[in-house]
């Protein structure tokens, strides 16, 4: 249970970074932390006590495996995270080109 | 261009890079090809392949890496790999269902086994390798917009 | 090929089109336009064909097992009344928007890139609608979202980049909530197949997991569909995109990613309780009023339309949240109608922008004489969105209001009436400042938009006028099929698994 709460704390750290930081690069880092927290959480969901890596090998019989499905799903989610991060960083670079600053409080042409 | 002391890092880094970059590339290809019998596969191997080019770029400057794989070539290869993956999936229609594994499965733990899975891994490996390299390239050369 | 093999084509065609365009679009001139036209026409044809195929299917459901793996082990694609309804809506709008973009995108550089992203977005939406697997839904949702983040920033001007950044951050937070919700449901049921999950949830009682995931999904999909407490990104993101993309975003993206997923998960998987329905109704009513109030005070045409989208999605959510057959019918019918007329309004705003070079209501005026077709289509769309009798919007709003009164929610019914009147005021303002009055001097020599743009706006206007005919008994099957799926609730599980067990 402690591990899950630590995941939650990590998630909250990320959320804090996204919501409260003024530098947009720091916001992106916060987003990354949030993604790691949720991936970690999902992998932990598939853990079994004394489980081994879910790999079949020659001449070996493994009885107690951890759940392999969340690991496959988390891999997908990491790829998605990579795509989002790459896109947001390139947008942030263009924003810097246009506004000359990374400070979110100075980037406000829109009223929102 | 490669021996231009102005671009890239110091001589030590360049020498080490020259020695290791081929090994990294080979290791990536190994991971891709053995994706169906051992941990790894298309994505992990593709990332390693991309890292070998990124390594080259960091050590020698961006011009050397672009001379190996230009941005247009990277994006063309990426589309080709995606279409390859899709056509492998479409081949399943020959057997009656989308994504059906129609090739013979062979014996487990052989290099030539598991039907279409190695082919999928190769397609994914190319896609991820060039895709990641293209992302890195676009972030390095931010074109000045008009 | 068997008839059922058309189901995966809804994902294959746009995906193949996207990568073909990005491959050959740079080398062969105009090839991207040919590919996008053929692919979206094929998608529209297939989606309508699939609707008729469904009528003859046993149990009105088709389940496609990818790779021959039966659920719950493999990913399956489920085509039932609701999916088919959404597919027709999405592909109809996507086709007309694609035709519109053929001319409209001439003012931007790099058409092939635009059409690549457009195809990917359509692929993501079709995938979300047709998949029967919860994680697959998340993946397709992210494909559509990432493509739309990139499309919002397509112009790479300062405002567009800022809007896209805001949209991407909000969208990522929404995705994070959805992902955690899926993780909880997976750990609770040990399956990801929607039907199997519903079957297990039905007999596994737990006091806190299901309400907790319900809240997570409500936050995630509420952000995606921009219900009122979560709406802050929409008025920035939708106007910033090119007009054709605004039409896609407002017309179908928020409904597919938000409302459809919400309905599928709350009604068919978790099972709707009165608690969820009350929350949905409340959020719908608040969105309805707040959205239109904010729309009233806008002077930027596209921003006004974006705020009005929030209000109209409120109607859809209110109708579905009522939970009665009539309410759901009204909600889904309004979803279809709103897709048509809001896309039309955004396309018209694009035509105005294309011709006049501005979309500020204070700077335009008198365009009715110079752009007669656009003015007429805009008038039709405005009347439809405001609910003037012969047009489609009237019937759906009337059904929602009647359903409110039938259920005894007079307050919500009153909200719907007030929202409708305020919408009328909003669009009278648009009509007055854009198309009526005297022509400003610098706008003297503008012309009507090119043929492709006029063609798609006129077609959408015709659908707006004739939309009410869908309530005729012979055409009711289109809506009734969708309503039946929502009303079946968690017995969806048994139907899908039974259909999947057929060879």
The DSSP secondary structure of C359-392, one letter per residue, reads: -BTTT---HHHH-HHHHHHHHHHHHHHHT-TTSH
Can you tell me the mean pLDDT for C243-263? Answer: 89
Task: From C139, C111, C112, select the one nearest C126 (Cα to Cα).
Answer: C139
Q: In this predicted structure, what is the pLDDT of residue C45? A: 93
As a whole number of angstroms, the distance between CA A106 and CA C335 comes to 38
As a whole number of angstroms, the distance between CA C256 and CA C86 comes to 8
Q: How many contacts, defined by CB atoms under 8 Å, are there between A and B? A: 21
As a whole number of angstroms, the distance between CA B117 and CA B85 comes to 10
Q: In this predicted structure, what is the pLDDT of residue B143? A: 55
- Given a cut of 70, whether residue C260 has pLDDT beyond it is yes
As a whole number of angstroms, the distance between CA C182 and CA C76 comes to 17
From residue C396, alpha-carbon distances to C257, C292, C315, C352, C477 in Å are: 21, 18, 9, 28, 16
From chain A, pick out residues whose CB is under 8 angstroms from the CB of C162.
95, 107-110
From chain A, pick out residues whose CB is under 8 angstroms from the CB of C235.
112
- Given a cut of 80, whether residue C1 has pLDDT beyond it is no
In a domain, B85, yes or no: yes
Whole-number average pLDDT of chain C = 87
- Residue contact A110–C168, C-beta within 8 A: no
From chain C, pick out residues whose CB is under 8 angstroms from the CB of A70.
183, 186
Highest mean pLDDT among A64-73, B60-69, B117-126, C356-365: B117-126
- Report whether the peptide linkage leading into residue C180 is cis, meaning its omega lies within 30 degrees of zero: no
Q: DSSP class of residue C65?
A: E
- Residue contact A35–C176, C-beta within 8 A: yes
As a whole number of angstroms, the distance between CA C284 and CA C292 comes to 12
Q: CA-nearest residue of chain B to C77?
A: B98
- Single pTM value for the model: 0.93
Separation in Å, CA of A49 to nearest CA in chain C: 15
Distance from chain centroid for Cα C266 = 18
- Given a cut of 90, whether residue C123 has pLDDT beyond it is yes
- Given a cut of 60, whether residue C262 has pLDDT beyond it is yes
Separation in Å, CA of C123 to nearest CA in chain B: 13
As a whole number of angstroms, the distance between CA A29 and CA C411 comes to 45
Asked if A61 reaches chain B (Cβ–Cβ under 8 Å), the answer is no
From chain C, pick out residues whose CB is under 8 angstroms from the CB of B97.
65-68
Q: Lowest mean pLDDT: which of B59-68, B86-95, C22-31?
A: B59-68
| Residue B2 confidence class, pLDDT cut points 50, 70, 90 | low
Domain boundaries, chain C: 273-471
Task: From B141, B140, A109, A101, select the one nearest C164 (Cα to Cα).
Answer: A109
**A2-47+64-99 maps to which CATH number?**
1.10.287.3510
- Given a cut of 70, whether residue C283 has pLDDT beyond it is yes
| Residue B146 confidence class, pLDDT cut points 50, 70, 90 | very low
> Which of C227 and A59 is assigned the larger pLDDT?
C227
Asked if A94 reaches chain B (Cβ–Cβ under 8 Å), the answer is yes
Q: Which one of B80, B93, B97, B116 makes the best mutation probe of the C interface by having the most chain C beta carbons within 10 Å?
A: B97
Asked if A108 reaches chain C (Cβ–Cβ under 8 Å), the answer is yes
- Residue contact B139–A93, C-beta within 8 A: yes
Q: Which one of C18, C67, C155 makes the best mutation probe of the B interface by having the most chain B beta carbons within 10 Å?
A: C67
Q: Lowest mean pLDDT: which of B109-113, B133-137, C426-430?
A: B109-113
Q: Kindly write down the DSSP assignment for every residue of C448-473, as one continuous string.
A: PPPHHHHHHHHHHHHHHHHGGGGGST
Q: C82-107 burial, b if ≥16 CB within 10 A, otherwise e?
A: bbbbbbbbbbbbbbbbbbbbbbbbee
Asked if B5 reaches chain A (Cβ–Cβ under 8 Å), the answer is no
Q: How many contacts, defined by CB atoms under 8 Å, are there between A and C? A: 90
- Given a cut of 70, whether residue B1 has pLDDT beyond it is no
Chains touching A, CB cut-off 8 Å, 3+ pairs: B, C
- Residue C101 structure tokens: 């973009």
- Closest residue to B135, CB basis, from A55, A56, A86: A86
As a whole number of angstroms, the distance between CA C350 and CA C344 comes to 10
Separation in Å, CA of B111 to nearest CA in chain C: 22
From chain A, pick out residues whose CB is under 8 angstroms from the CB of B144.
97
As a whole number of angstroms, the distance between CA C184 and CA C213 comes to 7
- Residue contact A90–B145, C-beta within 8 A: no
* Distance in Å from the first CA to the final CA of chain C: 15
| Residue A50 confidence class, pLDDT cut points 50, 70, 90 | confident
Give the B-side interface with C, CB within 8 Å.
72, 75-76, 78-80, 82-83, 86, 89-90, 92-93, 96-101, 145
Q: In this predicted structure, what is the pLDDT of residue C409? A: 86
Asked if B39 reaches chain A (Cβ–Cβ under 8 Å), the answer is yes
Asked if C165 reaches chain A (Cβ–Cβ under 8 Å), the answer is yes
From chain B, pick out residues whose CB is under 8 angstroms from the CB of A89.
139
Q: Which one of C147, C150, C172, C297 makes the best mutation probe of the A interface by having the most chain A beta carbons within 10 Å?
A: C172
- Closest residue to B139, CB basis, from A58, A79, A89: A89
Render pLDDT for C31-73 as a digit per residue (tens, 0 to 9). 888 999 999 999 999 999 988 888 887 778 888 888 878 777 8
- Residue contact A58–B139, C-beta within 8 A: no
Q: Lowest mean pLDDT: which of A7-21, B12-26, B50-64, C431-445?
A: C431-445
| Residue A85 confidence class, pLDDT cut points 50, 70, 90 | very high
Helix, coil or strand: residue A59: coil
- Given a cut of 90, whether residue C140 has pLDDT beyond it is yes
- Given a cut of 60, whether residue C488 has pLDDT beyond it is yes
Chains touching B, CB cut-off 8 Å, 3+ pairs: A, C
| Residue B84 structural domain | 11-140
- Residue contact C67–B92, C-beta within 8 A: yes
Asked if C150 reaches chain A (Cβ–Cβ under 8 Å), the answer is yes
- The domain total for chain B is 1
Q: In this predicted structure, what is the pLDDT of residue C68? A: 79
Q: In this predicted structure, what is the pLDDT of residue A112? A: 52
Asked if A35 reaches chain C (Cβ–Cβ under 8 Å), the answer is yes
Distance from chain centroid for Cα A28 = 10
In a domain, B84, yes or no: yes
Task: From C242, C240, C261, select the one nearest C166 (Cα to Cα).
Answer: C240
């Amino acid at each position: 249970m402690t591990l899950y709460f630590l995941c939650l704390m990590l998630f909250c750290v990320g959320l804090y970074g996204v919501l409260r930081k003024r530098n947009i690069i720091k916001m992106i880092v916060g987003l990354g932390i949030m993604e790691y927290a949720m991936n970690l959480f999902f992998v932990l969901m598939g853990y079994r006590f004394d489980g081994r890596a879910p790999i079949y090998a020659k001449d070996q019989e493994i009885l107690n495996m951890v759940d392999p499905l969340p690991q496959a799903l988390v891999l997908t989610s990491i790829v998605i995270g990579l795509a989002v991060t790459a896109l947001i960083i390139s947008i942030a670079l263009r924003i810097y080109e246009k506004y000359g600053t990374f400070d979110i409080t100075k980037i406000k042409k829109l009223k929102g | 261009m490669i021996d231009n002391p102005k671009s890239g890092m110091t001589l030590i880094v360049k020498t080490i890079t020259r020695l290791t970059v081929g090994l990294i590339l080979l290791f990536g290809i190994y991971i891709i090809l053995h994706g169906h019998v051992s941990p790894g596969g298309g994505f992990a191997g593709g990332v390693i392949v991309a890292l070998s080019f990124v390594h080259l770029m960091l050590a020698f400057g961006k011009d050397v890496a672009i001379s190996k794989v230009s941005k247009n070539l990277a994006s063309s290869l990426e589309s080709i790999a995606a279409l390859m993956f899709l056509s492998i999936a479409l081949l399943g229609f020959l057997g009656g269902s989308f994504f059906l594994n129609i090739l013979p499965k062979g014996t487990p733990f052989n290099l030539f086994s598991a039907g279409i899975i190695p082919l999928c891994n190769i397609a994914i490996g190319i896609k991820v390798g060039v895709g990641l390299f293209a992302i890195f390239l676009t972030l390095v050369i931010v074109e000045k917009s008009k | 090929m068997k008839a059922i093999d058309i189901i995966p084509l809804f994902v294959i065609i746009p995906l193949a089109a996207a990568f073909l365009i990005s491959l050959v679009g740079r080398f062969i001139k105009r090839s991207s336009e040919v590919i996008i036209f053929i692919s979206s026409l094929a998608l529209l044809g297939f989606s309508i064909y699939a609707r008729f195929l469904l009528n003859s299917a046993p149990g009105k459901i088709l389940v496609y097992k990818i790779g021959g793996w039966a659920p719950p082990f493999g990913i399956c694609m489920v085509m039932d009344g609701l999916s088919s309804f959404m597919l027709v809506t999405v592909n109809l709008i996507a086709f007309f928007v694609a035709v519109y973009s053929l001319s409209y995108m001439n003012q931007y550089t790099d058409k092939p890139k635009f059409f690549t992203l457009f195809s990917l977005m359509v692929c993501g939406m079709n995938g979300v609608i047709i998949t029967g697997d919860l994680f697959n839904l998340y993946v397709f949702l992210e494909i559509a979202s990432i493509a739309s983040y990139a499309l919002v920033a397509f112009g790479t001007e300062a405002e567009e980049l800022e809007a896209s950044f805001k949209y991407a951050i909000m969208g990522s937070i929404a995705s994070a909530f959805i992902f955690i919700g899926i993780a909880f449901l997976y750990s609770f049921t040990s399956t990801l197949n929607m039907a199997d999950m519903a079957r297990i949830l039905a007999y596994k009682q737990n006091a806190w997991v299901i309400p907790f995931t319900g809240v997570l999904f409500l936050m995630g999909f509420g952000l995606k569909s921009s219900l009122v407490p979560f709406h802050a990104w929409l008025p920035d993101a939708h106007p910033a995109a090119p007009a054709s993309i605004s039409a896609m975003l407002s017309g179908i993206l928020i409904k597919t990613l938000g409302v459809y997923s919400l309905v599928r998960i709350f009604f068919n998987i978790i099972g709707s309780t009165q608690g969820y329905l009350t929350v949905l109704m409340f959020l719908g009513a608040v969105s309805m009023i707040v959205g239109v109030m904010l729309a009233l005070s806008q002077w930027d045409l596209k921003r006004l339309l974006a705020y009005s989208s929030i209000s109209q999605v409120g109607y859809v959510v209110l109708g579905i949240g009522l939970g009665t057959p009539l309410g759901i019918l009204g909600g889904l019918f309004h979803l279809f109608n709103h897709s048509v007329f809001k896309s039309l309004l955004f396309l018209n705003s694009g035509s105005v922008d294309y011709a006049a070079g501005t979309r500020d209501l204070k700077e335009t005026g008198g365009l009715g004489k110079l752009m007669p077709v656009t003015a007429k289509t805009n008038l039709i769309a405005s009347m439809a969105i405001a609910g003037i009798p012969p047009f489609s919007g009237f019937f759906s709003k009337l059904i929602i209001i009647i359903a409110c009164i039938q259920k005894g929610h007079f307050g919500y019914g009153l909200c719907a009436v007030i929202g409708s009147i305020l919408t009328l005021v909003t669009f009278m303002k648009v009509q007055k400042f854009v198309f009526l009055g005297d022509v400003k001097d610098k706008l003297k020599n503008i012309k009507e938009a090119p043929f492709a743009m006029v063609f798609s706006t006129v077609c959408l206007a015709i659908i707006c006028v004739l939309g009410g005919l869908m309530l005729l008994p012979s055409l009711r099957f289109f809506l009734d099929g969708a309503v039946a799926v929502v009303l079946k609730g968690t017995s969806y599980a048994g139907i899908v698994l039974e259909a999947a067990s057929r060879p």
